[in-house]
Amino acid sequence: MQYIIKTIVPLLFLLIPFGVVAQSTYLPQGNKHQTLLNRLEILLQTNDDLNLNTVKPFSRKIAVRIAESADSIQKANGNLLSKVDEYNLRSLLMNNSEWVTGTDTSDFYSKKSLWNTFYKTKANLLEVNVKDFFFTVNPVFQQQLSVENEEHSDDQLFVNTKGLAVRGLIAKKIGFSAYMTDNQERAPLFVQDRIIAFNAVPGNGFYKVFKKTATDYIDARGSINFTAAKYLDFQFGYDKNFIGNGYRSLFLSDFGNSYLFLKINTRIWKFNYMNLFTELVPQTIGINAGNKTLDKKYVSMHHLSMDVAKWLNIGIFEGVVFGRRNHFEFSYLNPVIFLRLAEQQEGSSDNAFVGFDLKANIAKRVQLYGQLLLDELKVGELKSGKGWWANKFGIQAGAKYINALGVKNLDLQGEINMVRPFTYSHFDSLANYTHYNQPMAHPLGANFVEAIGIVKYQPHPKWTTSARLIVWKQGTDTAGSNFGTDIFKAYTTRSGDYGYKLPTGPRSTGINAQVLVSYEVKENLFLEASALIRNLKTSIAEVPERKTAVISAGIRMNMFRREYDY
């Protein structure tokens, strides 16, 4: 990736003055407006901006364009949105006011500001909106206290986050954003165990030990954005991306640590084509990462999204992990070539994937979606039913149902994910599909079947409730065997070539259930209470059943909620 920075990025900046048009920053993942956008995708049914939205995060400019379109439809017939939807739509516009054009913005401003400087608008602590320059600064914090019932959990659980988020536009041509928080966290015991096992905080990377059983870490993200020509968007930064329409993604999720990337997105007519070039960190388990310069590896990805009908979108995904330490393969910079072909032309055996996804909006109430990931597949071996180890693939199938049973703003979602043993792994541990000791796709890795059910209900603009149930079965690797669960292990350590079902090996069965109640005190400031129950048992007699119950209460502002959904 250092070669990209030294060559491509400077070239792009040289070209900026000659071809840049209006550019937007992006809505952060996990933002409160994602639920509204998901609902609008189904309610509008044939909106290309939404139907092409498989790669996330979402452009603020496009989000406002969608919201203003929905607002105009609502004013014309009054049947599209509920009162709660209208409130959420105004909130979306208020928080992205730099792109609002045809909407009255008088209610965006506070009745009283602090020293005529701070909170002049309801959404931002500090906002500058003058000709050719827009800039906001907001505090970010989350304070959460929890009680856990699990044995040996005598310490108080907590999340203590504080930081800043800034974003801006220069002449509506260059966008920039930054987010940085300092975090101290004592998570539930099952999360503490994962941190020790993976030598990384889930969702982040490097950490320091804090108060013996807690962690201290920094979450820093940022990017710059510009649009060349009319349809070509560039983003260069250090952050996360997500490809998919479900709760999980089998292609690329935002579960792990942030990474350095260059993203080129082309959107024209009914096509959206994304190129993503990333720099990742290989495994650092057992290494004091704070005292050395870490090695690098790289991933190149393409995703083409197409609206083949007004209500139906299909996508094609491909990616390859470069198994060359600290060396970028320039043939993978080609934005249109099939990566598998480039890999073969190089005479290499890098870790390559292909995939297909789809979503269909039906009757303005339902969305069906799915993904198929192919790591390696031989149809003959699949038909034989012998469980050949190298038939490595994953399947996702899900559905969303909004305004369920005629109840406004009651939304249901169901999703099934299954991933065959050894998927995402490689014979070279450098080329597995991981970053800083964490999976790049599903948090369970491989060799599992998972079912997810989600209920969301917003009975009032200020109140939001949700319930989530995740159940899974997964094979368990033992000290002397590799059944394809741990994607960090080289698949050459497997014990045989056949007999790999789903799941394979000693089985573990898990349940993770959560209920949440959230109240928005003022714009982007939430009071929350939740209860989490997690049980995990295995068929290995020596491993005891783990039962966890956690009750939490907290306050957060201008940031996503910390989740333990695995």
pLDDT in tens, 120-171: 999 999 999 999 999 999 999 999 999 999 766 668 999 999 999 999 999 9
Look at residue 151 in the predicted model and tell me its pLDDT. Answer: 65
Q: What is the mean pLDDT of residues 90-108?
A: 94
Look at residue 543 in the predicted model and tell me its pLDDT. Answer: 83
Query: Is the preceding omega at residue 421 within 30 degrees of 0, hence cis?
Result: no
Look at residue 495 in the predicted model and tell me its pLDDT. Answer: 86
Look at residue 215 in the predicted model and tell me its pLDDT. Answer: 97
pLDDT in tens, 167-223: 999 998 899 999 999 999 999 999 999 999 999 999 998 999 999 999 999 999 999
- 345 has a pLDDT exceeding 70: no
- 326 has a pLDDT exceeding 70: no
Classify residue 432 as exposed, middle or buried by CB count within 10 Å of its CB (0-12, 13-18, 19+): buried
Look at residue 15 in the predicted model and tell me its pLDDT. Answer: 45
Tell me the backbone φ, ψ of residue 32, rounded to 5 degrees.
Answer: -70, -20
Q: What is the mean pLDDT of residues 473-500?
A: 93
Overall CATH class of domain 2-557: mainly beta
Look at residue 179 in the predicted model and tell me its pLDDT. Answer: 97
Query: Is the preceding omega at residue 57 within 30 degrees of 0, hence cis?
Result: yes
- 4 has a pLDDT exceeding 50: no
pLDDT in tens, 68-84: 999 999 999 889 999 99
Q: Give domain limits for the chain.
A: 2-557
Indicate the pLDDT class of residue 12, thresholds 50, 70 and 90: very low
Looking at per-residue pLDDT, the higher value among 4 and 290 belongs to 290
Looking at per-residue pLDDT, the higher value among 5 and 245 belongs to 245
The CA distances from residue 457 to 84, 202, 258, in Å, are: 11, 28, 31
C-alpha span between 98 and 233 (Å, rounded): 18
Indicate the pLDDT class of residue 479, thresholds 50, 70 and 90: confident
Tally of CB atoms within 10 A around 107: 9
551 and 534 Cβ atoms separated by less than 8 Å = no
- 299 has a pLDDT exceeding 90: yes
3-state secondary structure 345-405: HCCCCCEEEEEEEEEEEECCCEEEEEEEEEEECCHHHHHHCCCCCCCEEEEEEEEEECCHH
Q: What is the mean pLDDT of residues 31-44?
A: 97
pTM for this prediction: 0.94
Which residues on adjacent β-strands are paired with residue 448? 419, 474
The CA distances from residue 74 to 44, 82, 443, in Å, are: 11, 9, 40
Look at residue 7 in the predicted model and tell me its pLDDT. Answer: 45
Q: What is the mean pLDDT of residues 258-274?
A: 95
Question: Considering only 15-24, 87-96, 160-169, which range has the smallest mean pLDDT?
Answer: 15-24
